[in-house]
Structure 1
């Protein structure tokens, strides 16, 4: 038990810090190594490890990644970013449009993929217009996190929670879409106030040249094909009883059979690291569950009034935990203890809103925040920890207040 706990703590230390201190072992590497060590030393049997992997969640996420990659290789994201950036509107209105686009796309497509695809183009467009890229990148990032809470397919943690609680697509959307939508104006209001009078890019001319960003040519036919497949998939999620994983895999298969775009190009856009991360965490968490330590911890938490089957308690736990270890690991920690809830949809909303809304507090609170900061740095725009938190903390707190009111209404 002690060795299993040590491995567990080291893995989740890497989840929180971003790597295992002293080693070049990132989050995915730590999860995979932890799982392999537990298997190799016999702390978990191969069959138990295999059974621990939630193939429904992995399959659903993989299928949606392939679908989203079809929009990447067709040039849709680049065209969308160029269209938004080319609108002749004031900076506050441009910010509002950008927030709406980010929130909408992230609700239908995996939010991390949307952020990866559009961030470099947004940097280039804002610099070309002489605008300060930081408020627009922050608004885009915050909206991607908040908007992704609206649907099951908005983020991996939503998929994990919905699978554990057996919530339907419409049932999930019924309890999470409205607060996610209402959170978007709060993002705009906060950033518009913080950056009032600071919309212009103030660096010297030698530093204002827009970074060279490779723009993928827009393919109208492939974009229409991907859009039709996505709409059919969403319709199947809503109106059919077909398992979500099979719907996503079927849509991915249709898009991979292509005469003009190589399947290799599409599959190269799939985040295999995230899939391996989840598989590793499934195995590590199962090994810890076998020690019965989590059950003792839950008993201790209940002594402080925190019951994971109560939506408000879950909202509080998720808001804190997701900023310590990350969104996906946080949900995976509590997933085994979600059975028996009298109000599974409210509990699912608490998980989605707690992780999606609170993850804007700090850069490492979400993968989207890390992506925006890193890609911004690569393209010449430095977003410091304090700059991110100065805007992200009030956004997160306002959205969480909204979430508390909503959860009280649901219960």
Structure 2
């Protein structure tokens, strides 16, 4: 067997079992060990490994981690949550609020952003209302994956599709083609989670929301400024994209600018930087290296060629993008798939956006946002297992794909 592929399979297994004897292995440790193995084995050169690491993604995550940590450490995130959720009176309403709130927010703020700020929030809600933390973590993961489908800035792969294809009206194209099936899929997700975790809702008492005080008012002010900068710059980006302006603002630049107030003005800046989720950044750097090593072998390309199918049809695009995204992540998959689409019509592009994004609802490694959620959860003393995610995610992912495929076939048929 090819060494790179064997290492990737071993990493998958380690992430699934998470333990060897008495030793617990974290996700970032498994991925880092895999990357170091292919480097030492000479499967990928050190120069190619460095080139494989997406600097924009790394800088975006760094900036958002700083903003997220500022909101959490100051208590401003929980203060906002109280203001948003204090009118919800039942567990069912809270589940719906998290599901649809996170989904709609991810369409504007990007799914990775919601993964960063949403994880400590849902864990606090679970603790306060004595609900399953795993249920709300899954709700957050599925919500931000689905919500990001219908926006060209909902996730990095959609942005890549929108810019590569030079769509004349990207926001309108994504929304018109994908909003309806997304809302249907959110409703289906609610019903599935409501059924799987039905014991959480049986004889549940009315929710009692405890008022939240700011932990650090001065840091909260800086966090508020960061949040306004983040939202404001994203709105500017939306306007620039809509006007087809030659001026473009990268998401990494937006995140870094939003991170400046606490870094430059807070006396607690060193504590904030020490508290960042550095392990997740290591995970992503290692993931880029390992997946690049696997792709360089050509083994997956050969397998696709052996299928002898038309790669430009809507069903083929959706199935291949959803499946291959489990192995090399959805952003590099989209970058590699786009040149194969000889006719970049809207149906093919929307199928690629839906398939590559919904890959995140199948398995943990199908989306970067899933990894961020789990890594952040472990930082706060919680976790979400590979099999717990998969037992709901695999059937849910197939239902999601069928709904998107049916709608796109109808809409562009």
**TM superposition score normalised by structure 2:** 0.72
Q: What is the aligned partner in structure 2 of residue 272 from structure 1?
A: 281
Deviations along 1:294-325, one digit per CA (max 9) or x if unpaired, are: 554333111xx3x33222112112333344x3
Q: What's the CA shift for 1:117?
A: 3.0
Distance 2:39 2:385 in 1: 34
Q: What is the aligned partner in structure 2 of residue 297 from structure 1?
A: 303
- 1:115-126 correspondence to structure 2 within 5 Å: 115-126=115-126
Deviations along 1:65-92, one digit per CA (max 9) or x if unpaired, are: 5257435524564344334443342221
Q: What's the CA shift for 1:402?
A: 0.9
User: Tell me, what secondary structure is at the counterpart of 2:361?
Assistant: coil
Q: What is the aligned partner in structure 1 of residue 265 from structure 2?
A: 260
Contact kept in structure 2, 1:141 and 1:372, CA below 8 Å:
yes
**TM superposition score normalised by structure 1:** 0.73
Distance 1:250 1:316, change over 3 A: closer
User: Tell me, what secondary structure is at the counterpart of 1:154?
Assistant: coil
Distance 2:320 2:352 in 1: 9
Q: What is the aligned partner in structure 1 of residue 207 from structure 2?
A: none
- 1:7-406 correspondence to structure 2 within 5 Å: 7-11=4-8, 13-14=10-11, 17-18=14-15, 25-31=29-35, 34=38, 38=42, 46=47, 53=52, 58-59=55-56, 62-63=59-60, 66=63, 69-70=66-67, 72-75=69-72, 77-159=77-159, 169-170=170-171, 171-172=173-174, 175-196=177-198, 198-199=200-201, 218-219=220-221, 220-242=224-246, 244=248, 246-252=249-255, 254-258=257-261, 259-261=264-266, 265=272, 268=276, 272-273=281-282, 275-277=284-286, 279-281=288-290, 283-284=292-293, 287-289=296-298, 296-302=302-308, 305=309, 307-323=310-326, 325=327, 329=329, 332-333=332-333, 335-341=335-341, 342-363=343-364, 365-369=366-370, 372=373, 387-406=388-407
Q: What's the CA shift for 1:276?
A: 1.7
Distance 1:317 1:26, change over 3 A: same
Instruction: Mark the runs of 5 or more structure 2 residues left unpaired by the alignment.
Output: 205-209
Contact kept in structure 2, 1:132 and 1:200, CA below 8 Å:
no
Distance 1:382 1:275 in 2: 19
User: Tell me, what secondary structure is at the counterpart of 2:246?
Assistant: coil
Instruction: Mark the runs of 5 or more structure 1 residues left unpaired by the alignment.
Output: 203-209
Deviations along 1:193-214, one digit per CA (max 9) or x if unpaired, are: 3434532699xxxxxxx9xxx9
Distance 1:398 1:279 in 2: 29
Contact kept in structure 2, 1:28 and 1:277, CA below 8 Å:
yes
Deviations along 1:374-394, one digit per CA (max 9) or x if unpaired, are: 665676667566654454344
| Number of residue-to-residue matches in the alignment | 381
Distance 1:393 1:215, change over 3 A: farther
Q: What's the CA shift for 1:127?
A: 2.8
CA RMSD of aligned residues (A): 4.3
